Amino acid sequence: MEGSLVESHSIHEAGSVVPPGQRIPMSELWAGNPARFVRTLTHEETLEIPKLAIAVNELSCRFITHSTMCLEVEKMRKQFDIPL
């Protein structure tokens, strides 16, 4: 919501709602409505975030093939050399 911040290398579970002004710090997992801290991510989990994001986006692009988001994720996939 307005004024909230989800820092890089963190996970905000699908369907969760980040309250206005809330900050989700780096390397944390948050879930729920309102979103609440679940746990700190392991180093290995944070390394998998780009692959997970691209995989989820690939699935959504099967339904919305011409969105700007799909094109941007394709660029990211190539940049990080992530095959799917």
pLDDT digits (tens, 9 = 90+) for 36-47: 999 999 999 999
Average the pLDDT over 12-31 and give the result. Answer: 90
Token digits for 7? 């820092």
Residue 9 buriedness (CB in 10 A; 0-12 / 13-18 / 19+): middle
Token digits for 66? 């011409």
**Phi and psi at residue 41, to the nearest 5°:** -75, 150
- Say if residue 10's pLDDT is above 70: yes
Is the pTM above the cut of 0.75? no
- Say if residue 83's pLDDT is above 70: no
In this structure, are residues 29 and 46 in contact, taking their beta carbons and an 8 Å threshold? no
Instruction: Return mean pLDDT, the chain.
Output: 83
